[in-house]
Structure 1
Amino acid sequence: MQHYPEGTLYVVATPIGNLADISLRALHVLHLANVIACEDTRHTQGLLRQYGIEKTLLAVHEHNEAEAAVGVIERLQRGERVAYVSDAGTPAVSDPGARLVAAVRAAGLAIMPLPGASSVTTALSAAGISGDSGFIFAGFLPSKAGERDQAVVGLQGEARAVVILEAPHRIEALAQAMTPLGDRLVTIGRELTKQFEEIATVAASAFPAWLAGSPQRTRGEFALVLHPAAQALPQDDGSRVLGLLLEQLPLKTAVKLAADITGAPRNDLYETALKLKKAGNE
């Protein structure tokens, strides 16, 4: 059984929706803690009541995190166990907590993370993307239109999957900004783990139309996974695939399929096909 030392900051993940996603270890530490620091005391108080936990709460949010960290450090130095939770999911991942953790570490005090629910990994697990390509976490893109558009342009050449978070009042603007990404797939996770959870994978160009398909689709919190950009195979592979297809199919059909399979430019494949046909007739 793991030891839970005094004078330690416990970074505790809480459910992103479904209350049953709390871990047994998290419940144990929340009961054990002398005090619970949290992003929103009212929200956390309601959450704790669901588990039958009554604790003193300290507000540690994005507007007071640096100052509040001083009080947390004083408690830790007195030997108290302090648990920190954000409103939902894993603290310090697009939620407050990072500055608190950094301050506690700088003070030479112990930190123990308790893993659990995270919209990032939840969305990735539903996207069906091979882990070989890796992924990056972009979080919330800029709220200003010009900066957001520029950020999306920067993703066009990204070969890895990209996880993006968005709030309901900005999701339509984000969907519109992503349309230049064309056929690149986007897995949309809306209200993940909650009653009205919805998961869909569409082309980026079709994202606005998907949202418009139901008035419910602009409600709730979003976790998006932009799939990796299709990588063109080397030209030699394109030619090899094209040659095999030409043995069974008409020229135009073979060119189209070879382009779809390999990602090679269709015009280049067409020129190659003409040369292969000519060579075969000689």
Structure 2
Amino acid sequence: MRIDGSGTLRAGCVLCPNPGPMTLDGTNTWILREPGARDVVVVDPGPHDERHLERVARTVQEQGARVVATLLTHHHFDHSEGARYFSELTGSPVHAVDPEHRIGGEGLEDGRTVEAGGLELQVVATPGHTADSVSVLLPADGVLLTGDTVLGRGTTVIMDGDGGLAAYMDTLYRLRDLARTAELRALLPGHGPILTDPLGVLEGYIAHREERLAQVIEAVRGGAATPAEITAVVYAGVDPAVLGAAESSVRAQLRYLTDRGDVDGLPLEAGEN
């Protein structure tokens, strides 16, 4: 299996046909395998789309391999909903941070090593997009599977009350350091194309977040007093399909700025769910 643009032999992608404003081209289901080995690890089987899940299982079978572990990067349905059916198809246990999403599997604690047929993966806790978000490092190829923590296009949504911006900023700084120390060659996102400049992408994500925070502060100082009013200023012209997500991001940013002491005197609504 080869990823165009990255040169790796250990990862392949089956794209789920669920495109949309929040999923971009669809969910990337990653198939990880040591060359020549029989055992395979699948990351993010996707939503409950039986044709997609059967196609992933068939792809593995046609290579004379078997799925021995399925990993979930986080609980959102477009990554996890199909896990039970996929487990029934393949007999694979499902490992996840959230116990409710495990199927005969174990937790994905930070630093845990997952091995399969000579393949070695490392779990990296990356909370922010959700509290249970993890990324998966494939050291042999210098690639990191990022789920929704880093997308192939655009930036991810931070939902207030599940993850949070403080955790997400810490995650971005951690991943930036990892990009340097592990000499990452590519990021394999849960949606969108492969990113072959990990350090540049992560630095861009950090800069983008700081820019958004500055825009929120400016909007507040300009008189915007509720999340809806701030959203109208900061995300002017946003696609109505993602307006709710934008307002949730504003709430997360307000909470972060309030905790940091950068804004005060906001109505209660601004800092609550």
TM-score past 0.5 threshold: no
The structure that has the greater radius of gyration is 1
Q: TM-score normalised by the shorter chain: which range applies?
A: 0.3 to 0.5
TM-score (norm 1): 0.32
- Higher RCO (CA < 8 A, seq sep 6+): 1
**Higher helix content, 1 or 2:** 1
TM-score (norm 2): 0.33
